[in-house]
Structure 1
């Protein structure tokens, strides 16, 4: 493919992404300038006005194909210049906040609720969700297929290795990986205290 055709294809793709973002804004999604949505994104506020959630997308944010954002009556707030990779899923029941310039890689899952565990004999599904706000700071990198559980705060500048499960808060600048994710060192070169 020649450079001219590549440029034309890229420009057309970008325009389609902007058009999809505009269509989402018609359904109530709050998006700033230069937001793009990839193919097959589900950005849904919810079924009824009284229980609709809130989705806010900051300037320059890019959602790749297959991203799913469902607030389920809660709020998903995405900062400026955030990249959310293909197939990422964010559930905002209890509220999810993602800071500016963060990179959420492909197939990540970000949750903000959990089920309560009732006594034996009471169906789990009959119990209400436990709402657990989740906050991801600015300049964070979540590697491919990271899972962030509800109620977790990931500090500014953190890096979380691919396939990790974040079950508790991570301090700013931490490099963490594993299941559950453990702080291994910090971006400033210092080691993790044990």
Structure 2
């Protein structure tokens, strides 16, 4: 390797390191701002919060994030009195997680881009203008894979070590060590 090539490689490595330090500093600032804005927000130091995320915690709600890379443009919402607990490894860009009652994402879970997880549906026994919801907890186990654009609806439990295919709509619980895909998702 020529001295010029070695120098270029060293400079590139230093720039990547400086860029990463800058990203970590910005993430730390985002977490500090969220802690100041929302008493129910708690993220550990190993959690990374990316740019463009919309994170909201209503009064009485809690949002707890542990060891997770929350990438760009992720929406996390904990409603009044709701509990949102995320120990997932990764939340892909554009993911939406909304808790009106309780949503739990287990350790090591990986969520691809544009996934939607909601624990509430509109209450269709009243006029839609009233905007009432029926909520049921969503529990996603450990080491689960949720493929791109999958949707997980209220009352669903996805067992440990399961995979949900891209574009699947999960309306029923999925046992541990299973694969499910389709609309509605079916265990294969």
Q: TM-score, normalised by structure 1?
A: 0.85
Q: Which has the higher helix share?
A: 2
Alpha-carbon spacing, 1:160–1:21, altered in 2? closer, same or farther (3 Å)? same
1:13 paired residue number: 23
What does residue 6 of structure 2 align with?
Answer: none
Match of 2:63 among 55, 67, 75: 55
| 2:32 aligned residue | 22
What corresponds to 1:190 in structure 2?
A: none
The aligned residue for residue 8 of structure 2 is none
Tell me the SS of whatever aligns to 2:64: strand
Higher mean alpha-carbon deviation, 139-148 vs 14-23, is at 14-23
Count, aligned residues: 175
Using the TM superposition, give the Cα deviation of residue 127 of structure 1 relative to its aligned residue in structure 2, in angstroms: 5.4
Structure 1 unaligned blocks of 5 or more: 185-194
For the 8 Å contact 1:20–1:36, the answer to whether it is kept is no
- The separation in 2 between residues aligned to 1:143 and 1:70, in whole angstroms, is 21
Shift of 1:141: 0.7
1:34 aligns with 2:46: yes
Provide the secondary structure at the position in 1 that maps to 2:76.
Answer: strand
Deviations along 1:9-28, one digit per CA (max 9) or x if unpaired, are 12211221122122212222
Structure 1 residue 90 and structure 2 residue 97: aligned?
yes
In angstroms, what is the RMSD of aligned CA positions? 1.5
- Tell me the equivalent position of 1:146: 150
The answer as to 2:133 corresponding to 1:129 is yes
- Post-superposition Cα deviations, 1:45-94, rounded to whole Å, max 9, x if no partner, equal 12xx3xx4210111x21111111111111111112x52111110011002
Counterpart check, 1:44 vs 2:44: no
Structure-2-length-normalised TM-score: 0.87
Deviation >2 Å, runs of 4+: none
Q: Secondary structure at the match of 1:2?
A: helix
Find the aligned partners of 1:173 and 1:15 in 2 and give their Cα distance.
38
User: For residues 31 and 113 of structure 2, what CA distance do their matches in structure 1 show?
Assistant: 20
